[in-house]
Amino acid sequence: MPGIVDGRVVIVTGAGQGLGRAHALALAEAGASVVVNDIGTAAHDVASTIRARGGTALPVLGDVADWRAAEQLVAAAVAEFGRLDALVNNAGIVRDRMLVSMTEEDWDAVMRVDLKGHFCPLRHAAVHWRAIAKRGEPVSARIVNTSSGAGLLGSVGQGNYAAAKAGVAALTQVAAAELGRYGITVNGIAPAARTPMTEQVFADAMRAPEAGFDAMDPANVSPLVVWLCSERSGAVSGRMFEVEGGFVGIADGWQHGPRIDRGERWEPEELSDVVAQLVSQTPPPAPVYGAVSDA
């Protein structure tokens, strides 16, 4: 029985392990030809696993935060399969430090991989699809970006990672607005799952149970990614999905809140009461991950 992405060609970045590996396997099982990207030879291992299960896969090693490598990744997919239908931006790293201990290198490394590493493949894939659309040919393309609860709510000890993943959320919104005219949808996921990164930071929470449903299995996230890569998701764009275990939800981002307009410039002394009134009319923000409660 054909899967919902049967015949589609999908790039998955950072697919050598963790969530990316789970996405690549799930997409192949659902009928896609998968371009398995990673910086190391694990990409070959995942591609071999897909082929052993009867699927189609092409391993492409390369650093997605490198402009030329990202361009070559898109070109390799098109050269091998004659088309590209979806891009799953998954590659990411962590360099966890409290802000007062964080180095410039810690900041730059995470921004480069986690944020620029989303932009570079997205940009080259979008240029490819735009060219097709401008020729008058139909395009039903999908981009799935990977943010995080840290990017949506913040996370103590992960200022660089949280900032990069918040950037991914904003990039998703802008790309959805800009690229929809070409037949491209862009959505994001904020997953919670057991990966080599989260096992280090949240060891107890990520530990697999001895029996029963393993809520932190990264494979639990992949069905949503498969659906978002399919033609069935064409009416959905610019959304951020939270997904963990057996639940799927939509994160509702920044919205305009209450306002007070005096019709002219405020004096600084007047703003104490104004701000207090605005705060009293607004729900408190969700707590930052790892924040110490004052209670």
The residues assigned a catalytic role are 148, 161, 165
Type and span of the H or E element at 273? helix 271-280
Q: What CA–CA distance (Å, rounded) separates 51 from 64?
A: 24
**What is the C-alpha to C-alpha distance for residues 102 and 157, in angstroms, rounded to an integer?**
9
Q: Which pairing describes strands 141-146 and 86-88: parallel, antiparallel, or unpaired?
A: parallel
- Residue 34, exposed/middle/buried by CB under 10 A (0-12, 13-18, 19+)? buried
CB 65 within 8 Å of CB 120: yes
Sheet holding 240-244, edge to edge: 56-61, 33-38, 9-12, 86-88, 141-146, 184-192, 240-244, 247-250
Return the number of other C-beta atoms located less than 10 Å from residue 8's C-beta: 24
